[in-house]
Amino acid sequence: MAKKSSFNNYVSDYFDRNSSGRADLVAGDSFNSLGFKQKKTDVLELVEHHALRLKSDTDSLKICDVGCNDGAFIEYLLGIQAEIDLYGVDVSRKALAKAKANSNLDKVSFDLVDGESGDLPFADETFDIITSIEVIEHVEDKDKMLSEIYRILKPGGVVVLTTPNKESVALNLQVFLVGFIRYCFGKKGHKDIFIDEKGFEELYKKVGFLCEKKDILYWIRPYLTISYSTYTLGLLLPFMLPVPSIFLLYYQRMLNKYFGRFFKTRLITRFFCWSIFVVLRK
């Protein structure tokens, strides 16, 4: 077998070490943190919409989460009101082991992706819907990843992809600060190759996808910056700031409802909006 490049090795080792839980929270990463919850709720709405559109009376829908980690998002998908078969793939063995140990997910099929080849272990035109949340930035050969997703998607199927917004000043600040804190505590950080909206568009158009929807995620940065600070404080204080998630989600919803248009102006998204998402159709 070909030797993994150091980039891919780094990524799978990193996610083997950090596949969720409080330890990662304190260090600045959590796939179940509030921000991720908000993002998953937003992506779930999109997936549900397409699942209802694509469902048929005869066959169950096939949905795959690429870069599923410990299956946290797949758990959200279990609630979709349609007959679905769920699949998850990841390069991290440890994250997949966690996913497989979760009894709520025992009907889900999980598979390991070889990070070096980037081949997805499925036949052509297998899936109706594919999701991939905050994964493409960890992949060196992004063309290959998107071509593989295109290959395993059925004609007419959709993929929902999210990735951090390279242009966000807040994101870049945070990457720097969290990286610095991790460095001070002797921890290795993420290895990311971020893409901006334009770069993203070039990539998916080249592969042949049609863009159905493109937006920022309704996910405004300031409260996350606060929550990240509390995680960081968690290194020193055993208890994190007890701000109830429900309050923050409500605050987020209200901000979007009344000031959404303002937050979506270019200037503001450049500063605050962490993620961009696209819904692509084959």
Ligand X SMILES: C[S@@+](CC[C@H](N)C(=O)[O-])C[C@H]1O[C@@H](n2cnc3c(N)ncnc32)[C@H](O)[C@@H]1O
Please, which residue, 55 or 147, has the CB nearer to ligand X?
147
Among 91, 171, 178, 181, binds ligand X (CB under 6 A): 91
Q: What is the CA radius of gyration of the chain?
A: 18
Q: Does 72 bind ligand X (CB under 6 A)?
A: yes
Of residues 131-160, those binding ligand X (CB under 6 A): 133-135, 138-139
Taking Cα atoms as reference points, which of 153, 5, 143, 160 lies closest to residue 67?
Answer: 160
Look at residues 24, 130, 110 and name the one whose alpha carbon lies nearest to residue 70: 110
Judged by CB under 6 A, does residue 228 bind ligand X? no
Q: Is 90 in the site for ligand X (CB under 6 A)?
A: yes
Q: What is the contact mask toward ligand X in residues 9 to 48, using x (rule: CB under 6 A)?
A: --x---x---------------x----x------------
Nearer to ligand X, 32 or 252 (CB): 32
- 70 versus 128: smaller Cβ distance to ligand X: 70
State in angstroms the smallest separation of the CB of 73 from ligand X: 5
As measured in angstroms, the least distance from the Cβ of 262 to ligand X is: 27
- Piece of 91-99, 101-109, 174-182, 256-264 that binds ligand X (CB under 6 A): 91-99
What is the Cα–Cα distance from 138 to 151, expressed in whole angstroms?
20
Neighbouring-strand partners of residue 110: 88
Pairing of strands 153-164, 127-133: parallel
Distance between CA atoms of 116 and 126, rounded to whole angstroms? Answer: 22
- How many residues in the shown chain lie near ligand X by CB under 6 A? 23
| Binding residue for ligand X, selected from 28, 73, 149, 227, defined by CB under 6 A | 73
Among 35, 88, 115, 157, binds ligand X (CB under 6 A): 115
Indicate the helix (H) or strand (E) that contains 100.
helix 93-101
Burial (0-12, 13-18, 19+ Cβ within 10 Å), 37:
middle
Nearer Cβ to ligand X (59/181) = 181
Residue 171 interacts with ligand X (CB under 6 A): yes or no: no
C-alpha–C-alpha distance, residues 277 and 96, integer Å? 24
Helix, strand, or coil here: 195? Answer: strand
Q: Is 95 in the site for ligand X (CB under 6 A)?
A: yes
Near ligand X in 251-270, by CB under 6 A: none
Side by side, which strands form the sheet with 84-90?
109-112, 84-90, 61-66, 127-133, 153-164, 275-281, 210-216
CA atoms 164, 165, 166, 172: torsion sign: negative
What is the greatest pairwise CA distance in the chain? 56
Which residues in this chain contact ligand X in the complex, by CB under 6 A? 11, 15, 31, 36, 66-69, 72-73, 89-92, 95, 113, 115, 118, 133-135, 138-139
